[in-house]
Structure 1
Amino acid sequence: MNPPGLFNTFIMAGYECAAQRRRDGERVDVQVSTGHLRWAAHDYRQLLASGIGAARDGLRWHVIEQRSGYYDWSSFLPLLRAARECNLQVVWDLCHYGYPDGLDIWRPEFVERFARFSGAAARLMVDEGFEAPFCSPINEMSFWSWAGGDVGYFNPGAHGRGLELKHQLVRASIEAIEAIRAQAPAARLVQCDPLIHVVPDSSRAVDQERAEGQRLSQFQAWDMLADRQWPGLGGCEAYLDIIGANFYPQNQWRHNGERILRGHPEFRPLAGLLAELHRRYGRPILLAETGAEGDARGPWLDYVGSQLAVALQRGVDVQGLCWYPFLDYPGWDDGRYCPAGVFGDADGAGTRAPYHPLLMQLQALEKLHRPGQ
């Protein structure tokens, strides 16, 4: 039998909780648009009935703290208490791209306010019986700094300020970690960012250098947290606890932007990416997001499962696989129906129909990695 891991089950469900404002000013709020906010208890029970006992979910900071220092937990407590009643282990995202209206992300107030919010959330979790909560302070700092700071895809809608935004998000994450640990010393922290691979356009030295620089940027936020880059930000190795690695079919490309998909000779195997990550930090790794859409779901999970087996055989400390998102959802930009989940829309009673082939694959992987549980 495999030894017990950090999480109740090797397979985890990722309940999408993105809450950013798009470039047109409209707010994305996936907990609402999927019905998960309404049906969380039902979703959790359905998850447990499927043999999965761990998940990622999140808090809607923009709703909880509409006035500085005043917290309305009514949108979060039902999820927290449902998780407790179901004995479901949840990694809680405290900030998944969304933050309160009127808060300037570029100012020191953002760091200070997020730290206070994080400490208050940790205190609430302890008061509700979670002595050792799992938290992910700021989701995907590297992706957010690109999307919100370099190309204006969503809030704060800036261009050419990606590194500045990354510094601010790292500062906020550091202060949040301190605030969380002050309230819940046994808390575990998961720092999630995408794994990528970038191939140069040509054999010219300048193109290879640019591609490698972009590839290495995937490590910047983790390095900053660990005081390996930009030490003035205040990082230290103790801020790296569990590494959350997010990996999708589109995470590899040429430096000019052309996608490199699985099956291409230059596509780098996931097992190698995970091994590099483990060598660099020596921390437990959660494959915190992976998934595909439509008919590509099954083949993608087959590939990821086989690559995790290779990585584990090589001694990489992979603690789990989180399918993300676990529920079908409306697309961020246009609201189109995205069949990417293991479960579909909820009916009037909160029941969701499963995509049986994918669910069976996940259950088989759970039995493979945690036999006898």
Structure 2
Amino acid sequence: MIRSVAYSKAVLAGMAGAVAWEAIARVLIRAGVPFFDLVMTLGTLILPHAPAWEAWLAGMAVHLLVGAIWAVFYAYFFWSVLPLRPALQGLVFAFVPMPLAIFIMHPQFDLMHPLVQSGQMSASGLFGLGGGAHEPISIAVGHLIWGTMLGLLYTRPVGFPSNRPPLLVRQLGNSRPSSDAAPKIAEHRFMFATGIECSYPTLEGGRWRMDQMAACGHYRHWRTDLQLVRDLGLRYLRYGPPLHLIHRGPDQYDWAFLDEVAAEMQRLGIAPIMDLCHFGLPDWLQNFQNPEVPQALADYARAFARRYPWVQFYTPVNEMYVCAKLSALDGLWNEQCRDERAFVTAVRHLAKANVLMMQAIAAERPDAVFVNSESGEFYQPCCPDPAIRRIAAFENERRFLPLDLLYARPVHEDTRAYLLQHGMPSEEYAWFMQQDVRRRAILGVDYYEWNEKLIDNTGHAQALGELFGWYAVARQYYQRYGRPMMHTETNRMDARDGPRWLWRQWHNVQLIRQTGVPVVGFTWYSLTDQVDWDIALREPLGNVNPVGLFDLNRDPRTVGLAYQHLVRLFGADLDGAPSVEVVLEEAAKITNRQARRLHA
């Protein structure tokens, strides 16, 4: 397992453990308790004839260094391995260096110590038992003190307190807007893309922020990351500016970081698909239960479009269904609720925010294109039990809820009753049905190996793996909404299987295009490995998931080379595909014909 290690936190925790060990040892020794004086033994080993205070300083320096080294080892190989509280994890880990110290290092002191060799200090004998059992016991107790302190202090290696944003972002300097010039792309046709993982939900009641751009090093390496996009032969990038760091309050924006990034995108000729809200909110908006969220995000979208008028592609709100489900139904992020009413509230606010944001952006840039990325879900009943079938049928309707509201598609009668029962006013439902933001919309369908689920005989959903595949799931979404489509996210947790998964997804895209479904793009997500996505960001463990085209050192993975080859192989052929504008115009004609038939 690859780990993202907070080195400074590990070093400080290890040193703090060493200080705690020495502090307790010093108190016990002065109280007359027989306790092995490790620090003075180390100090006189280095400076045998120095004054006591100099020997103590030398010994303490070695003690701190050793404590820090073992702490880094703990952070890499042991942290979060056991399902124990942090203090107990550290306590258990102390049993790793403890026997080495007792059975190897301590006996070596007699052989190495100049004062023992000269007879000025008595030898402690094998394992320190010559002077009694207190020496090995003292070393064992000291390690337990050190380990407990290490476990208490080394926690949450990724993320940061919500009220203390990353220092790098605050130090970027004076803000300067980018020019109005758009990247020089003659015409937007088929869009091969990747993305920068940018999720930023909060945990622990909003106190801890899981910022993937920070965890994956993008704030430090953003110039390199953008260059890697171009090195792959790509021009399209799903990019989520850090909303929580930009939108400081009502009508308060800090554009410093994004101004720098946007200017570099223009220089490199990258056309971003700007992802304005990705699983989180600024602290001042709290969470998705807040009724002020839709208007606040609409104001942000309007300000964004005014500041960056050259940006044409937007994802106003990413994966509304997943965001609402994990925040308000599964209780993992943000509001961390676990009830149907909270879920419906989150869906209402996310969908309304999406509508208002699309309208606000379109008012500033009428030719804006909206890539509404949503997770392509499917639920399969495990057996013919009517109750299990009803659960699967309900979940297969519920997965569409946010998009139904966004695209003003009347929901199933039972689903509408569910909405009204759990807090949606009928007037609000009517408002959604009166909006029309579809005309410039592309429906993005994300697909991972866990998107297809089995409703088991207890009524719970279990990940099923790739049963039908993106082709079958995406086709259901196309049949429901009739929008041009894009494969907007996919990856594989097993890096060795990444190239195979890439080609399977690509062949799904080719197959659905052959049936006449207008698919305008494909995305491997993300550019680099991600952190803690194997547990859906529910804990800040620091586990690196090898899903990127590049690892976190920015070295290419096999799937990155495979994607580069795929783009070169099919890019020229797809240069003749209809442009995005033509596809949207054709979709608008179909929508108009359908509307005329409905009103005939």
Fold match (TM-score > 0.5): yes
Match of 1:144 in 2: 323
Match of 2:472 in 1: 272
Name the stretch that deviates more: 37-46 or 75-84. Answer: 37-46
> What is the CA deviation profile of residues 102-145 of structure 1, one whole-angstrom value per residue up to 9, with x for unaligned ones?
3243333222211111100011111xxx0x52111111110011
Amino acid at match of 1:309: Q
Counterpart pick for 1:29 among 211, 216, 229: 211
> What is the CA deviation profile of residues 43-102 of structure 1, one whole-angstrom value per residue up to 9, with x for unaligned ones?
112221221111101111111122321111012112211111111011011111121113
Match of 1:225 in 2: 406
Q: TM-score by structure 2 length?
A: 0.57
Match of 2:462 in 1: 258
Structure 1 residues 150 and 366, CA gap change in structure 2 (3 angstroms)? same
Q: CA deviation at 1:20?
A: 0.8
Q: TM-score by structure 1 length?
A: 0.90
**1 CA distance for matches of 2:235 and 2:338?**
41
The answer (yes or no) to whether the contact 1:60–1:75 under 8 Å persists in 2 is no
**1 CA distance for matches of 2:434 and 2:259?**
32
Larger Rg: 2
Q: CA deviation at 1:250?
A: 0.8
> What is the CA deviation profile of residues 267-312 of structure 1, one whole-angstrom value per residue up to 9, with x for unaligned ones?
1232122222222222111111100122231221121122112111
The answer (yes or no) to whether the contact 1:328–1:343 under 8 Å persists in 2 is yes
Provide structure 1 residue ranges, at least 5 long, that are not aligned to the other structure. 347-351
**2 CA distance for matches of 1:183 and 1:10?**
24
Name the stretch that deviates more: 294-303 or 158-167. Answer: 294-303
Match of 2:567 in 1: 366
Match of 1:272, SS? helix
Match of 1:353, SS? coil
Post-superposition, which runs of at least 4 consecutive aligned residues in structure 1 deviate over 6 A?
Answer: none
**2 CA distance for matches of 1:235 and 1:344?**
46
Match of 1:321 in 2: 522
**1 CA distance for matches of 2:371 and 2:191?**
15
> What is the CA deviation profile of residues 193-212 of structure 1, one whole-angstrom value per residue up to 9, with x for unaligned ones?
11111111320223212202
Name the stretch that deviates more: 268-277 or 240-249. Answer: 268-277
The answer (yes or no) to whether the contact 1:41–1:83 under 8 Å persists in 2 is no
Structure 1 residues 106 and 5, CA gap change in structure 2 (3 angstroms)? farther
The answer (yes or no) to whether the contact 2:355–2:437 under 8 Å persists in 1 is no
Counterpart pick for 2:386 among 187, 205, 210: 205
> What is the CA deviation profile of residues 292-338 of structure 1, one whole-angstrom value per residue up to 9, with x for unaligned ones?
12223122112112211211111121111111122012213321111
**2 CA distance for matches of 1:109 and 1:99?**
12
Q: Are 1:335 and 2:542 matched, yes or no?
A: yes
Amino acid at match of 1:43: D
Percent identity between the two aligned chains: 23
Match of 2:264 in 1: 82
The answer (yes or no) to whether the contact 2:229–2:237 under 8 Å persists in 1 is no
Q: CA deviation at 1:235?
A: 5.3
After superposition, residues 31-50 of structure 1 pair within 5 angstroms as 31-50=213-232
Match of 1:119 in 2: 302
Match of 1:79, SS? helix
The answer (yes or no) to whether the contact 1:193–1:218 under 8 Å persists in 2 is no
**1 CA distance for matches of 2:349 and 2:233?**
39
Match of 1:214, SS? helix
**2 CA distance for matches of 1:250 and 1:5?**
38
**How many residue pairs end up in the alignment?**
356
Structure 1 residues 220 and 231, CA gap change in structure 2 (3 angstroms)? same
Match of 2:499 in 1: 298
**2 CA distance for matches of 1:95 and 1:174?**
13
Structure 1 residues 21 and 6, CA gap change in structure 2 (3 angstroms)? farther
Q: CA deviation at 1:343?
A: 0.8
Match of 2:592 in 1: none
Question: Where is the helix percentage greater, Structure 1 or Structure 2?
Answer: 2
Match of 2:445, SS? strand
**1 CA distance for matches of 2:204 and 2:513?**
41
Q: Are 1:106 and 2:289 matched, yes or no?
A: yes
Amino acid at match of 1:110: V
**2 CA distance for matches of 1:270 and 1:107?**
34
Name the Cα RMSD after superposition: 2.0
Q: CA deviation at 1:9?
A: 5.6
**2 CA distance for matches of 1:278 and 1:98?**
28
